[in-house]
């Protein structure tokens, strides 16, 4: 899948290539939590401990050339799998090995939280969303089962171009479909797809998503001045997939995307909030639940997750693994936990930059002194190492 030059370039950017088509790269939020500085939005929304999360992909190739993507156009693209297929056990073992090697330096770091670092040695979550299109890996179901058997939860993100893969996918802890534009014309402009029937593929993907029994989510990446329009059409697409959750996130102006889009195309967090307030008017089944300022993301959920006035969007991971191992049919409702903090702060990107109040917007758990830090610079965790942009 990779030429020697492409492999060398990825390794320079701190990717670790696994086998012939997979890759691992340490997420900035994982590093952040090990340093005792808080976790990512998936902690605040769903209860994932960022220091125990591995970020990877099973396919570096993709069938889109999304304008907002931070990867370069030198990355491989293809509509169909045309390469060798690595063994799932090799991918599983080598990914964990590479992930741990990338973190080993924290063991001698003075600023690292020793307890958080020790826990990082026990991976409990995998984000299959690093780059490319992971769902195309022909033996994905075997790999997913291997993760679950080893008590590793799975969060898989797909670009909604492979409906049959979605249909045939075994239970995932949380399955994402991207919806990058509200109309066919805009989707072609934003995603630059290889498939000529890209729109029909997305519609079919959403229909298959709606049939899933376990947790589902639709992701919207908002590009200011381009796809932040026709909210009623977005709502129609969302209702086709009828996901448990909706994440609306700002495009981040980093990496090679800077060559395709302008900095003005990156919405402020407060603009994402307003977008969601307007969007939810068209979605009577949903409510806004929470936000994460550093990621400029807002989460909406079906109202059914609000039980007796209390939101339950967190995941009972022990229960999930028990259910996954049982071989019996189970649903999203069977592995829910109470969400510790919800609601909108009323603050935005500008407010956050000015605020230095210690402890503002923290989420703490009873089990561990681990929190979500809302003061982290927005751009710190996006893009390649040499292309990071800091907002001060």
Phi-psi region of 343 (alpha: psi -120 to 50; beta: other; left: phi over 0): left
pLDDT tens-digit profile of 117-130?
A: 999 999 999 999 88
Gap between the Cα atoms of 84 and 106, Å rounded: 35
Residue with tokens 């001698």: 108
pLDDT tens-digit profile of 40-79?
A: 999 999 999 999 999 999 998 899 999 888 766 566 788 8
Query: Model confidence at 224, in pLDDT bands (50, 70, 90)?
Result: very high
Looking at residue 265, its pLDDT comes to 95
Residue spans of the domains in the chain: they are: 4-387
Cα torsion angle, 115, 343, 223, 163, sign:
positive
Beta bridge pairs of residue 281: none
Gap between the Cα atoms of 187 and 193, Å rounded: 8
pLDDT tens-digit profile of 245-262?
A: 999 999 998 877 888 999
Residues contacting residue 212 through CB under 8 Å, at least 6 positions apart = 175
Read off φ and ψ for residue 103, nearest 5 degrees. -100, -5
Looking at residue 1, its pLDDT comes to 67
Mean pLDDT value across the chain: 88
Looking at residue 349, its pLDDT comes to 81
Q: Which residue has the higher pLDDT, 366 or 90?
A: 90
Full-model pTM: 0.90
Looking at residue 253, its pLDDT comes to 86
333-351 residues labelled b (16+ CB within 10 A) or e (exposed):
eebbeebbebeebebbbee
Gap between the Cα atoms of 162 and 166, Å rounded: 7
Just give the CATH number of 4-387.
3.20.20.70
- For the chain, state the CA radius of gyration: 20
Task: Provide, rounded to the nearest whole percent, the portion of the chain with pLDDT above 70.
Answer: 88
Gap between the Cα atoms of 336 and 289, Å rounded: 15
Looking at residue 388, its pLDDT comes to 28
The answer on pLDDT for 380 being more than 60 is no
Q: Which residue has the higher pLDDT, 185 or 5?
A: 185
Gap between the Cα atoms of 145 and 156, Å rounded: 13
The answer on pLDDT for 183 being more than 90 is yes
The number of angstroms, rounded, from the C-alpha of 208 to the middle of its chain's C-alpha atoms is: 20
Looking at residue 379, its pLDDT comes to 44
The answer on pLDDT for 364 being more than 60 is no
Read off φ and ψ for residue 218, nearest 5 degrees. -110, 130
């Amino acid at each position: 899948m990779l030429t020697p030059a492409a492999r060398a370039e990825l390794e320079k950017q701190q990717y670790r290539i696994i086998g012939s088509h997979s890759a691992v790269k340490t997420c900035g939020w994982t590093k952040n939590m090990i340093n005792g500085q808080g976790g990512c939005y998936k902690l605040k929304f769903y209860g994932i401990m960022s220091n125990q999360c591995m970020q990877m992909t099973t396919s570096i190739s993709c069938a889109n050339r999304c304008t907002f993507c931070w990867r370069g156009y030198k990355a491989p693209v293809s509509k169909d799998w045309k390469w060798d297929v690595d063994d799932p056990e090799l991918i599983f073992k080598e990914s964990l090995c590479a992930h741990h090697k990338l973190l080993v330096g924290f063991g001698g770091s003075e600023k690292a939280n020793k307890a958080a670092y020790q826990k990082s040695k026990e991976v409990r979550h995998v984000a299959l969303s690093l780059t490319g299109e992971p769902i195309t890996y022909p033996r994905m179901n075997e790999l997913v089962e291997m993760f679950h058997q080893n008590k590793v939860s799975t969060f898989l993100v797909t670009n909604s171009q492979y409906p049959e893969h979605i249909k045939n996918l075994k239970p995932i802890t949380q399955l994402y479909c991207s919806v990058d534009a509200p109309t066919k014309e805009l989707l072609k402009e934003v995603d630059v797809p290889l498939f000529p029937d890209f729109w029909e593929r997305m519609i079919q993907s959403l229909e298959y998503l709606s049939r899933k029994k376990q947790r589902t989510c639709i992701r919207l990446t908002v590009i200011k001045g381009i796809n932040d329009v026709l909210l009623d059409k977005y709502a129609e697409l969302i209702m086709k997939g009828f996901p448990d959750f909706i994440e609306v996130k700002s495009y981040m102006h980093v990496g090679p995307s800077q060559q395709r889009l302008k900095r003005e195309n990156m919405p402020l967090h407060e603009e994402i909030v307003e977008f969601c307030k307007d969007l939810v008017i068209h979605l009577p089944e949903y409510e806004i639940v929470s936000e994460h300022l550093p990621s400029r993301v807002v989460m909406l959920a079906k109202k059914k997750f609000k039980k007796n006035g209390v939101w339950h969007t967190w995941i009972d991971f022990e229960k999930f693994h028990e259910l996954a191992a049982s071989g019996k049919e189970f649903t999203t409702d069977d592995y829910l936990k109470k969400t510790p903090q919800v609601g909108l702060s009323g603050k935005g990107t500008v407010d956050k930059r000015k605020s230095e109040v210690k402890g503002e917007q923290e989420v703490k758990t009873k089990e561990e002194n681990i929190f979500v830090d809302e003061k982290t610079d927005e751009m710190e965790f996006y893009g390649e190492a040499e292309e990071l942009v800091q907002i001060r």
